[in-house]
Amino acid sequence: MRALTRRDFLSASAIALGAGATAALAEEATRVVVHRSATCGCCKAWAAKLRTAGFAVEVIDEPDMKAVKARLGVPPALASCHTAEVAGYVIEGHTPVTSIQKLLAEKPKATGLAVPGMPMGSPGMEMGEQKDVYEVVLFGPSGQSVYGKFEGDKAI
């Protein structure tokens, strides 16, 4: 067995450092682009929840949210105040972070998720103690189905 040379050590160290850099890149935050009307404050609160959960969030103020929703395929019946894009999916409204994480883990064939309207107590819509019960809807060319049911930000 030969002794470890300085060159062997430096070579092995460089390989290990490269592997560490690759692992760090793999753990890089998932990017979310949030489209919102400049006058809507709850959208900023929802985006803050995504940031807290580790997403890299970009917020874009849009002059015509109806056009954004139409371009991204959000059915009018599922519309809310903001629309986001993440990993090829559309996220409409005050969708809980846990539902987005589940979507990204499961990768169903769908356009995305929606929480229609603006349910009180949903993420970004916390105002006092009122917490509506609401559904997260999975939607796409194959139709719509309930993806989760929540009261506030808690699954029920």
User: Can you give the pLDDT at residue 41?
Assistant: 82
User: Can you give the pLDDT at residue 111?
Assistant: 98
Q: Assess contact for 93 and 81: CB atoms under 8 A.
A: yes
User: Can you give the pLDDT at residue 28?
Assistant: 81
User: Can you give the pLDDT at residue 109?
Assistant: 97
pLDDT < 70 regions, the chain: 1-27
User: Can you give the pLDDT at residue 27?
Assistant: 56
User: Can you give the pLDDT at residue 43?
Assistant: 87
User: Can you give the pLDDT at residue 137?
Assistant: 98
Q: What is the maximal distance between C-alpha atoms in the chain?
A: 72
CA distance 87 to 104: 8
Q: pLDDT tens digits for 39-75?
A: 888 889 999 999 999 999 999 999 999 999 999 999 9
Q: Is 78 exposed, middle or buried (0-12, 13-18, 19+ CB in 10 A)?
A: buried
Q: Assess contact for 137 and 89: CB atoms under 8 A.
A: no
